[in-house]
Amino acid sequence: MPFEAKVNPESLINSLRDLYGNKITSAHIKAYCAQNDVGYQTVTKYLKPYKKGIGKWNLTVREKKANLEANFKAPAVVPPTRTESNSRS
């Protein structure tokens, strides 16, 4: 029998957002786990992109974080090319 995940990441995030809003803490996650028979580690695994600090998640920060990461991957400036007149022989 193949393994079936108990938790769908999108429904998990939507459910947490509906119950507790966009800013959640570890206490919110523990309460959610108790109500839905899901492990704390499982929930926090799916929330890694939203992590703001120890025991804090912001469910709207994922898009902002992705944009920042994309900006830092691109080079800030194009390196100048050497020409014959600029180079020393």
pLDDT at 9: 85
Examine residue 43 and state whether it is found in any structural domain, yes or no: yes
Q: Is 1 within a domain? A: no
Contacts of 17 (CB under 8 A, 6+ apart): 59
| Range(s) of the domain holding residue 64 | 22-69
Strands 51-53 and 23-25: unpaired
Higher-pLDDT residue of 82 and 36 is 36
Output 22 or 80, whichever has higher pLDDT. Answer: 22
Q: Which amino acid is at 44?
A: T
Residue of 61 and 7 predicted with greater confidence: 7
Residue 81: inside a domain: no
53, part of any domain: yes
Q: How many CA atoms lie within 13 A of 61 on its CB side?
A: 17
Query: Is 58 a domain residue?
Result: yes
Tokens 């938790």: give the residue. 7
Number of domains in the chain: 1
Query: Under the phi-then-psi rule, with left for phi > 0, alpha for psi from -120 to 50, and beta for the rest, what region is 4?
Result: beta
Res 49: pLDDT:
87
Is 26 contained in some domain?
Answer: yes
Q: Which residue has the tokens 């992590």?
A: 51
